[in-house]
């Protein structure tokens, strides 16, 4: 039993089907009579639609229907929503222009949805889409994040003067200004957090089926949160009542945030399958994914730190312009506000923090959460600024961090920016990382590299992140439209095997294994007798899905609570069967025993008794099946130190990552093999942002990086093997003692890499992605 419990690197249950080619992703599902959909998309960044002529397309071979925004509006299908309110400095809620799922007279970005063409085959749909004649009157486009709110810019939405969504100041400006005025030293940095395309490997897809007999719509979607999709589509988009809408997220090929949101295509496919009374399937090609998936990051920032003569941080201020794209995606407003500024303390005791975030509209794809969501942006500016502070003060980058760390005996620690950190020992992680990375030997390695004509640099990143957003009441106070609890159901079948229903959704994280380990550990049921079920609103009672590294810290605890209820109920059943008092029953390793005797009963026997209650305690309900909901008291706060070592070729600007160390505090690890995999993936995602990935629109709002040929994804030879270790602390308010690990790498890596490059070439700053050209130019100016 031990080998499958908490702490064991158990091989994954889900692997067999994926390795056999038996995974079942949305596009793999085919149903009788299905039709195929293609979206007609805007080729213009900004244009008025003066007319749509679908006559030729409708008459083309195999075409079932061509539907436009007028059809959608006539059926009362509502616009897409943004679910989190941010209050602007004028006291008004953020500006929320209507976001129709099919354009209503105007398009606002390249790829904006104009019509859906439905045909008997995919090629017929593609051919017919070419025949839809849209008469556009182009307008000038707004593509620049930093200029979007300037005077004289083209207005995108009437409801948003100066293209402003919100201006959100946070903190005590007067106190902050005073601290800056009296500071020994002020360090500052201007930087851009580069726009990224999240790019899970499975493109988004939707398959809609309507049953006219039951009036039920079933939508198979590439979703990270089927119940959230159902809730929003029912409550806000009027697609169908919640009880007549089933959303299934089958196997999903990666999410990283991009599959949280409720997208136009999903709503339109759901509506269209009822309208044409045929199943409708849509699958994005990669260029469509680039054009219409919500993008990430895209900030322009100035950050400043006030220091005393010992290098202690006295105050920090941040001014950011955040690009939200053409419309607000589902959680867009939350990312550059609450998930961003609330992390500005990082690992440090900085007492005063003031920030202003201007969120702007541009004629680009909507921007929303992407692996880390706000926290990578916060960590990047902070950890870059700390290195600038170190240089300005003549301190070692490790030393300035150490001088400012929140001490380990100060937890729980109330930061000046809302968050109260649960637990941490930041110095321990730093020490461990420096040891593992052989920081002491760095100078010798750099010397050796110089002999080969290479510039070797080392960079730190000491990050903290916030996972498992909670509690629900706090989310509500911040303007969030949902609760962020999680639910679970643990059901014994009469024959003793167990089905675990979770409201989280696994799209690579391995929940089917990790959650089975939890149940195996707690109930003592053989691992192979436990099945974890997720991703179908018709099977799982409810759930908020998977994002923000919440699944184990929130969803895992809900499972544990359901197991607690089963154990408690089982005590009554076992006491009756063994003719003992309930108070004398003990439970361990799957067995109920009567204290002080050798009487024992396995939990599987108890389950059988519960379903065949012939000899059964009075007043106890039959059945062995319990539900639980868990609403955490707080976020969890994983943290750690990453150290990156690079070699730069000054002649070409090429950067090689030669060593990378990560020491993280994720609390207790349930499956170390899976955790390590999450860390690897996160780090490479972060290395991608630091070295390779840059999403670019030209001045006309054309996306010039719309395929894997133009947008550089990290490949196998972009990173070395990593040194991974842990410096765990025990988060007091998480019953399982876990924190979350899915985003840490993507948060920690970008500043570690850029700090290493800046260190190598002696530059104050190098923008991401640090391509050979960028680095070569920086080398020229540094010399």
Partner 1 sequence: MSTINLAVNGQSVSGEVEPRTLLVEFLREQLRLTGTHVGCDTSQCGACVVMIDGKSVKSCTMLAVMADGSEVTTIEGLASGADLHPMQQAFMDNHGLQCGFCTPGMVMSGLDIVNRHGNEPDDATVRRELSGNICRCTGYQNIVKAIRAGARAMGE
Residues near partner 1 (CB under 8 A), total: 57
Task: Report H helices in 144-225.
Answer: 173-181
Ramachandran category for residue 105: left, alpha or beta (phi over 0 → left; psi -120 to 50 → alpha): left
Rounded CA-CA distance 180/401 in Å is: 20
Beta-carbon contacts of 550 under 8 Å, excluding residues fewer than 6 positions away, are 467, 468, 469, 484, 486, 504, 544, 740
Query: CB neighbours (10 Å) of residue 412?
Result: 14
Peptide bond just before 769 cis, omega within 30 deg:
yes
- Residue 649 CA to residue 453 CA, distance in Å, equals 7
CB of 113 to partner 1, least distance (A): 19
Spatial CB neighbours of 686, under 8 Å, sequence gap ≥ 6:
376, 745, 746, 747, 748, 749, 750, 752, 753
Tell me the C-alpha distance between 616 and 449, whole Å.
Answer: 76
Nearer to partner 1, 123 or 140 (CB): 123
Choose which of 74, 174, 588, 716 interacts with partner 1 (CB under 8 A).
716
Nearest to 630 by CA among 492, 496, 736: 736
Interface with partner 1 by CB under 8 A: which range of 7-15, 171-179, 534-542, 690-698? Answer: 7-15
Q: Which residues in the 119-148 window bind partner 1 by CB under 8 A?
A: 123
Q: Is 740 in the site for partner 1 (CB under 8 A)?
A: no
In what helix (H) or strand (E) does residue 560 lie, and over which residues does it extend?
helix 557-577
Cβ nearer to partner 1, comparing 209 with 356: 209
285 binds partner 1, rule: CB under 8 A:
yes
Told to check if 18 binds partner 1 by CB under 8 A, we report yes
Position among 681, 701, 728, 731 found at the interface with partner 1 (CB under 8 A): 681
Q: Within 13 Å and on the Cβ side, how many CA atoms surround 574?
A: 28
Number of Cβ within a 10 Å radius of residue 596: 9
Q: List beta partners, residue 626.
A: 490
677 binds partner 1 (CB under 8 A): yes
Nearest residue (CB) to partner 1, 20 versus 440 = 20
Stretch that binds partner 1, among 102-110, 194-202, 438-446, 690-698 (CB under 8 A): 194-202
141-149, 283-291, 408-416, 610-618 -> range binding partner 1 (CB under 8 A): 283-291
| Cβ atoms of 389 and 313 closer than 8 Å | yes
Label the pairing between strands 352-360 and 164-170.
Answer: antiparallel
Q: Which of 4, 25, 354, 587 is the binder for partner 1 (CB under 8 A)?
A: 25
Our finding on whether 46 is near partner 1 (CB under 8 A) is no
Enumerate residues 486-515 that contact partner 1 by CB under 8 A.
507-510
For partner 1, give the closer residue by CB, 508 or 570.
508
Q: In the set 199, 364, 419, 661, which binds partner 1 (CB under 8 A)?
A: 199
Structure tokens, 309: 């003569």
Residue 720 Cβ vs partner 1, minimum distance, rounded to whole Å: 9
Contact with partner 1 (CB under 8 A) among 33, 76, 92, 201: 201
Q: Is 676 in the site for partner 1 (CB under 8 A)?
A: yes
Q: How far is residue 320's CA from residue 339's CA, in Å, rounded to a whole number?
A: 14
Q: Should residue 22 be labelled a site residue for partner 1 when binding is judged by CB under 8 A?
A: yes
d(CA 394, CA 725): 30
Q: Does residue 384 touch partner 1 according to CB under 8 A? A: no
Binding of residue 249 to partner 1 (CB under 8 A): no
Q: Are 7 and 669 in contact (CB under 8 A)?
A: yes
Pick the binder of partner 1 from 58, 188, 211, 287 (CB under 8 A): 287
Minimum CB separation of residue 21 from partner 1 in Å reads 2
Question: Is 556 a binder of partner 1 (CB under 8 A)?
Answer: no
Residue among 30 and 783 whose Cβ is closer to partner 1 = 30
Using the rule CB under 8 A, is 715 a contact of partner 1?
yes
Long-range contacts of 156-159 (CB under 8 A, 24+ apart): 156/46, 156/97, 156/108, 156/326, 156/361, 156/362, 156/363, 157/95, 157/97, 157/108, 157/361, 158/97, 159/95, 159/96, 159/97, 159/98
Stretch 691-710: interaction string toward partner 1, x if CB under 8 A: ----------------xxx-
535 in contact with partner 1 (CB under 8 A): no
Q: Which of 73, 418, 713, 782 binds partner 1 (CB under 8 A)?
A: 713
Q: Please, what is the end-to-end C-alpha distance for the chain in angstroms?
A: 62
Q: Which of 579, 721, 781, 783 binds partner 1 (CB under 8 A)?
A: 721
Could you tell me the CA-to-CA distances from 167 to 89, 108, 319, 370 in Å, in that order?
Answer: 6, 22, 10, 22
- Residue 390: closest CA among 317, 324, 459: 459
Q: Does 684 bind partner 1 (CB under 8 A)?
A: yes
Region from 193-201, 407-415, 522-530, 689-697 binding partner 1, contact rule CB under 8 A: 193-201
Exactly one of 164, 474, 600, 673 binds partner 1 (CB under 8 A); that residue is 673
Interaction of residue 174 with partner 1, rule CB under 8 A: no
- With binding defined as CB under 8 A, does residue 655 bind partner 1? no
Of 202-241, binders to partner 1 (CB under 8 A) are 202-203
Taking the complex as a whole, how short is the minimal distance between the CB of residue 570 and partner 1, in angstroms? 34
Stretch that binds partner 1, among 40-48, 142-150, 153-161, 252-260 (CB under 8 A): 252-260
How far apart are CB 744 and partner 1 at their closest, in Å? Answer: 12
In the complex, the residues that contact partner 1 under the rule CB under 8 A are 11-12, 14-25, 27-28, 30, 123, 199-203, 251-254, 256, 285-287, 507-510, 673-674, 676-677, 679-685, 707-709, 713, 715-717, 719, 721-722, 745
């Amino acid at each position: 039993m031990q080998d499958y419990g908490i702490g064991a690197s158990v091989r994954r249950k889900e692997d067999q089907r994926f390795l056999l080619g038996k995974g079942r992703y949305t596009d793999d599902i085919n149903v009788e009579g299905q039709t195929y959909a293609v979206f007609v998309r805007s080729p213009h960044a900004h244009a008025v639609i003066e007319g749509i002529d679908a006559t030729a397309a409708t008459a083309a071979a195999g075409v079932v229907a061509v539907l436009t925004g007028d059809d959608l509006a006539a059926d009362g299908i509502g616009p897409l929503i943004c679910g989190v309110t941010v209050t602007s400095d004028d006291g008004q809620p953020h500006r929320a222009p209507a976001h129709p799922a099919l354009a209503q007279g105007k398009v606002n970005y390249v790829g904006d949805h104009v019509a859906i063409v439905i045909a008997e085959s995919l090629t017929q749909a593609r051919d017919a889409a070419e025949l839809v004649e849209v008469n556009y009157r182009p307008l000038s486009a707004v593509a620049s994040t930093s200029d979007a709110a300037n005077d004289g810019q083209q207005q995108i939405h009437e409801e948003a003067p100066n293209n402003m969504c919100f201006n959100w100041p946070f903190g005590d400006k007067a106190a902050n200004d005073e601290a800056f005025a009296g500071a020994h030293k002020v360090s500052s940095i201007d930087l851009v957090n580069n726009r990224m395309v999240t790019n899970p490997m499975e493109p988004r897809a939707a398959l809609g089926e309507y049953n006219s007999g039951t009036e039920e719509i079933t939508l198979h979607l590439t979703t990270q949160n089927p119940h959230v999709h159902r809730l929003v589509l029912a409550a806000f988009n009027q697609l169908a009542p919640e009880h007549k809408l089933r959303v299934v997220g089958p196997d999903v090929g990666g999410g990283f945030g991009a599959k949280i949101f409720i997208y136009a295509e999903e709503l339109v496919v759901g509506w269209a399958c009822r309208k044409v009374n045929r199943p409708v399937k849509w699958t994005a090609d990669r260029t469509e994914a680039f054009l219409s998936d919500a993008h990430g990051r895209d900030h322009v920032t100035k950050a400043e730190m006030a220091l005393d003569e010992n290098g202690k941080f006295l105050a920090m201020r941040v001014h950011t312009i955040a690009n939200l794209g053409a419309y607000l995606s589902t959680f867009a407003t939350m990312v550059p506000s609450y998930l961003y500024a609330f992390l500005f303390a990082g690992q440090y005791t900085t007492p005063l923090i003031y920030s202003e975030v201007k969120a702007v509209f541009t004629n680009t794809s909507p921007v929303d959460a992407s692996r880390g969501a706000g926290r990578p942006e916060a960590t990047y500016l902070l950890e870059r600024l700390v290195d600038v502070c170190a240089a300005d003060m003549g301190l070692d980058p490790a030393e300035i961090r150490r001088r400012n760390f929140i001490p380990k005996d100060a937890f729980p620690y109330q930061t000046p920016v809302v968050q109260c950190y649960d637990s941490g020992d930041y110095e321990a992680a730093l020490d461990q990382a420096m040891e593992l990375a052989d920081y002491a030997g760095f100078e010798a390695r750099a010397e050796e590299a110089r002999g080969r004509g290479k510039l070797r640099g080392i960079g730190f990143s000491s990050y903290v992140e916030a996972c498992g957003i909670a509690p629900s009441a706090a989310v509500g106070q911040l303007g969030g439209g949902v609760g962020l609890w999680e639910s679970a159901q643990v059901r014994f079948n009469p024959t003793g095997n167990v089905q675990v229903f979770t409201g989280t959704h696994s799209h690579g994280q391995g929940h089917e294994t990790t959650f089975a380990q939890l149940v195996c550990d707690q109930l003592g049921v053989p691992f192979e007798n436990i099945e974890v079920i997720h991703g179908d609103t018709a099977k799982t009672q409810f759930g908020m899905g998977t994002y923000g590294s919440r699944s184990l810290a929130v969803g895992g605890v809900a499972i544990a609570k359901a197991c607690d209820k089963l154990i408690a109920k089982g005590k009554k059943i076992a006491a009756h069967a063994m003719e003992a008092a309930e108070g004398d029953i003990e439970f361990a390793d799957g067995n109920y025993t009567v204290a002080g005797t050798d009487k024992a009963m396995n939990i599987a026997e108890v389950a059988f008794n519960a379903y065949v209650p012939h000899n059964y305690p009075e007043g106890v309900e039959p059945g062995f099946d319990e539900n639980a909901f868990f609403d955490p008291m707080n976020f969890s706060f994983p943290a750690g130190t990453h150290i990156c070592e690079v070699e730069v070729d000054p002649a070409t600007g090429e950067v090689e990552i030669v060593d990378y160390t990560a020491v993280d505090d994720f609390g207790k690890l349930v499956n170390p093999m899976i955790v390590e995999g999450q860390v690897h993936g996160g780090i490479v995602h972060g290395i991608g942002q630091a070295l390779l990935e840059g999403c670019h629109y030209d001045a006309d709002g054309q996306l010039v990086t719309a395929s894997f040929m133009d947008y550089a994804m990290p490949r196998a030879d972009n990173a070395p093997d990593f040194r991974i270790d842990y410096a765990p602390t025990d988060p007091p308010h998480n019953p399982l003692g876990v924190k979350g690990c899915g985003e840490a790498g993507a948060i920690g890596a970008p500043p570690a890499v850029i700090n290493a490059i800046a260190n190598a070439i002696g530059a104050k700053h190098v923008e991401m992605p640090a391509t050979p050209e960028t680095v070569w130019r920086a080398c020229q100016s540094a010399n």
